[in-house]
Amino acid sequence: MTKLKNIKAVVSDLDGTLLNPQHRISEYTKSVFQELHNQGYLIVVATGRHHLDALSIIDTLAVPVYLVSSNGGRIHSPNKEELFAFNLDSDVVKAALNIEIDPDVTVV
């Protein structure tokens, strides 16, 4: 793997990208990330998943990885230190849960 001079970081999603159809990171993908780490790239995984779910997955890479989770709501360093968190105020959540929604609309 030849290091590209202009690229300093590699950012990847989990679902449909790093994870195979069995929802695991393959040994080949782990070897690629090990080589990226060996060549000095900053590695970031970005996902919509909750950080606790994502941390257990990226731990299997066995290289330092920054984690951007909850669609950007949290950022953790490779040593799992929380660097950023955006938490909704509980009143906002309660108000959102109490909105009357047309039953023909699917809510996720």
Closest CA relative to residue 86, chosen from 59, 98, 68, 108: 68
Q: What end-to-end distance do the CA atoms of the chain give, in Å?
A: 41
Q: Please pick, among 13, 15, 59, 91, the residue that the annotation labels catalytic.
A: 13
Tell me the HSE value of 54 on the side-chain side, using a 13 A CA sphere: 27
| Residues whose CB is less than 8 angstroms from the CB of residue 47 and which lie 6 or more positions away in sequence, other chains included | 13, 14, 15, 54, 67, 68, 69
Catalytic site includes residue 13: yes
Q: Which residues are catalytic?
A: 13
